[in-house]
Structure 1
């Protein structure tokens, strides 16, 4: 079992509600949309990590990185989780090792971060193109209109979906990793502006099939990413 450990400085989940029928056309046959109150939840996870190292290695050897994943909440025959369509990182180590030494293929991109107290501003660029952006602040309540009634509802939804599958270049069709944390605490974000080039693509998502739902954040979390080779092989639902 492969495992890397460290600290989540922050983990932002930018969530969109999507027409499940549209999402079924996009997902591979092994996955089906996880539906809540009539919507599939998809979005971007932007995570900034520190002290990352192989489990058992001293923190002195740890590295830091900024990363993002476009993801869709799914059900599979092996449980709940997310299907990752794309991963980005500003780390050459993650880019070179991802999909080779550790599961998950990463694109090398540029991250602009501005964190000040409870205020977070993040933009991810690929060459001259903006892949995603968010400008938000920590608040107490979820936005009106969210499919989630309380922050506890959001927390449980994502806590039970801590396995991520993504396309693999290896013999198995998919890579699978699990997020394991020492504690789990989420806070709502008030979003001033947000953007996703993927979910704004009308060739995949026709007008009106995707709308903003909510954004949440986790901060200062001890965690591990664990390779789950036993979950890589999936049969269609």
Structure 2
């Protein structure tokens, strides 16, 4: 593992601009064999474990009225977003820190994509998102990253979840507010922190879930990764705070197919909540 040092941010400002807004977020969580997950993480990151298992997932994020923190909400912009993430730990001096490594971000906002990593926090790829109220699971062609999930708000986590309770799952993910994103420089990771002014998650009882990335046997062997649970956040006021980048002395990178921008990327997230179904699709 290489030496980790804070670095000047790659976007404008000392530690990047601060942003505020409202977030609606669906978190799809998978538990994965720690050794298998470690092979997909770049140094200096290592899997953060719960119950002996690594945790990865995809966030489907609807952002509303996002704007610089000093501006009123009516000037903000809205967008649909998706992020592939993994819970990790890293050492800085004699301290152990925890966060999430985001290997890829997609957004419906061209402005976010163009200015991402400079004016806006996080490097993003532009995607076309289509939102509908029909619970229709689309079939995507071969070679395209895809995701679909159907579920209803419920009272608790599935009995098979490694967390055992909603409270324990909530605490685990709340502790991962620091995020580091992949950049074109394999030794540099762009930092940002999500601060929710109110933290509240609801469990989803998932009847169907499919992810072409997490089901890709060239990345994760059969049986090494299992869907664990899904959580929902609705109408949460939040702030994004830019943090110093992390730099690693070791340039070696493990197998990370999502760092390479594919010719086409489509994300289809379908969540049936309180009797109403909404579908989100994204395509490069």
- Does the alignment reach a TM-score above 0.5? yes
Please tell me whether the aligned partners of residues 123 and 132 of structure 1 are also in contact (alpha carbons under 8 angstroms).
no
Distance 1:65 1:43 in 2: 20
What does residue 264 of structure 2 align with? none
If you compute each CA radius of gyration, which structure gives the higher value, 1 or 2?
A: 2
Q: Give the stretch that moved more between structures: 190-199 or 59-68.
A: 190-199
Please tell me whether the aligned partners of residues 50 and 64 of structure 1 are also in contact (alpha carbons under 8 angstroms).
yes
Aligned length: 231
Distance 1:171 1:26, change over 3 A: closer
What does residue 130 of structure 2 align with? 112
* Runs of 4+ deviating beyond 6 Å: 120-128
Task: Say whether residues 1:89 and 2:107 are aligned partners.
Answer: yes
Aligned 1:28-107 pairs, distance under 5 A? 28-78=42-92, 79-107=97-125
Please tell me whether the aligned partners of residues 145 and 213 of structure 1 are also in contact (alpha carbons under 8 angstroms).
yes
Q: SS of the residue aligned with 2:157?
A: coil
Aligned 1:83-162 pairs, distance under 5 A? 83-114=101-132, 129-162=144-177
Distance 1:127 1:70 in 2: 20
Please tell me whether the aligned partners of residues 102 and 181 of structure 2 are also in contact (alpha carbons under 8 angstroms).
yes
Q: Residues 190-229 of structure 1: CA distance to partner in whole angstroms, max 9, x if unpaired?
A: 1122222211111111111111100001111000111101
Please tell me whether the aligned partners of residues 121 and 136 of structure 1 are also in contact (alpha carbons under 8 angstroms).
no
| Gaps in structure 2 of 5+ consecutive residues | 1-14, 251-284
Distance 1:126 1:103 in 2: 32
What does residue 20 of structure 1 align with? 34
| Gaps in structure 1 of 5+ consecutive residues | none
What does residue 190 of structure 1 align with? 205
**TM score, norm. by length of structure 2:** 0.75
**TM score, norm. by length of structure 1:** 0.89
